[in-house]
Amino acid sequence: MDQTNRVGHSISKRRPTDLTIKQAASINTHPLIRKLELQLRRMKRGSNERAKALRTLRKEKLRLKRSLQETIRHEWTDNQAVDDIEREWNPNQIVEKGCCPQGSAQKYLVQALAAKCDNTIEGYYRRRNNAINAIILYCAVEEGPIIRRKNASSAKPQHIYGKDTQEEGPLQEALKTALKAIRVKTEKERPRYCFLCVGKALTLQPDDPLIKDLAREFYTSGDTAKHFRRCFNVWL
């Protein structure tokens, strides 16, 4: 019974899989991180000592992030056990389902499909056209833009969001890190990023909140393989 509950909790869509923006920002206020950042500012740029301190800072941030994720998951599992018992006693209880925030294209799609029908023929065609445009816009987000082949003389380099931006935000920094991590050099390397999701993130706007979820790092390479198989089966 305990094993069944653990498996059910691990595959639950309401199970927290990543930190929120507020939770991730709390790592930077940790006393150890502040101490390492202060030491880093006092070191000379380009020195081996500063490079070593920078690696230590990144490792500590990653360690604290994983530790916080595990703590949140354990707390959620404990609270979920209480919710399961309450649902057994009260089967009619409504359970709130967790979901990711909708993007602009998804909101536009839902509004267009749920729009009220008009009694006039012009209103009907207007509603139909809005729904078609919303679906086309959302397909570009879900599947990526269509790449058209051009002649060599008229070919121009395509713009990829995040490549030529002068100021990189946290989303672009995370995407840049993920893009480097998926480029393995040997067969023994096992990346912890999904290259399909990273490729999809490259087609989004630089400030799209979906980039954070698509460019996330998995805990182990095995988790990456499981995620890839799930995505591959869905796309098939």
pLDDT of 168-224, one tens digit each?
Answer: 667 777 778 877 777 777 777 788 888 878 877 877 777 777 787 788 888 787 888
Compare 95 and 160 and report the one with higher pLDDT: 95
Site of tokens 């209103």: 123
Are residues 68 and 133 located together in one domain of the fold?
no
Mean pLDDT of all residues belonging to the chain:
75
Categorize the per-residue pLDDT at 157 as very low, low, confident or very high, splitting at 50, 70 and 90: very low
Are residues 84 and 108 located together in one domain of the fold?
no
> Is 116 in contact with 83 (CB distance < 8 Å)?
no
Are residues 131 and 63 located together in one domain of the fold?
no
Residue 30 in 3-state DSSP?
coil
Give a yes or no: residue 164 inside a domain: no
Predicted pLDDT at 166 = 46
Categorize the per-residue pLDDT at 160 as very low, low, confident or very high, splitting at 50, 70 and 90: very low
Residues listed for the chain: 236
Alpha carbon 41 to its chain's center:
31
> Is 200 in contact with 233 (CB distance < 8 Å)?
no
pLDDT at 96 over 70: no
Residue 162 in 3-state DSSP?
coil
Give a yes or no: residue 155 inside a domain: no
User: Of all residues in the chain, what percent carry a pLDDT higher than 70?
Assistant: 73
Domain span at residue 206 reads 170-235
Are residues 62 and 113 located together in one domain of the fold?
no
Predicted pLDDT at 209 = 76
Are residues 194 and 224 located together in one domain of the fold?
yes
Categorize the per-residue pLDDT at 164 as very low, low, confident or very high, splitting at 50, 70 and 90: very low
Give a yes or no: residue 158 inside a domain: no
The tokens of 130 are what?
């809005």
Residues ≥6 apart with Cβ < 8 Å to 176: 162, 168
Question: How many domains is the chain partitioned into structurally?
Answer: 3
Q: Please give the average per-residue pLDDT across 42-48, as a whole number.
A: 86
Helices and strands in the chain: count of H runs, count of E runs: 10, 0
Q: How far apart are CA 191 and CA 181, in angstroms?
A: 6
Residues ≥6 apart with Cβ < 8 Å to 145: 203
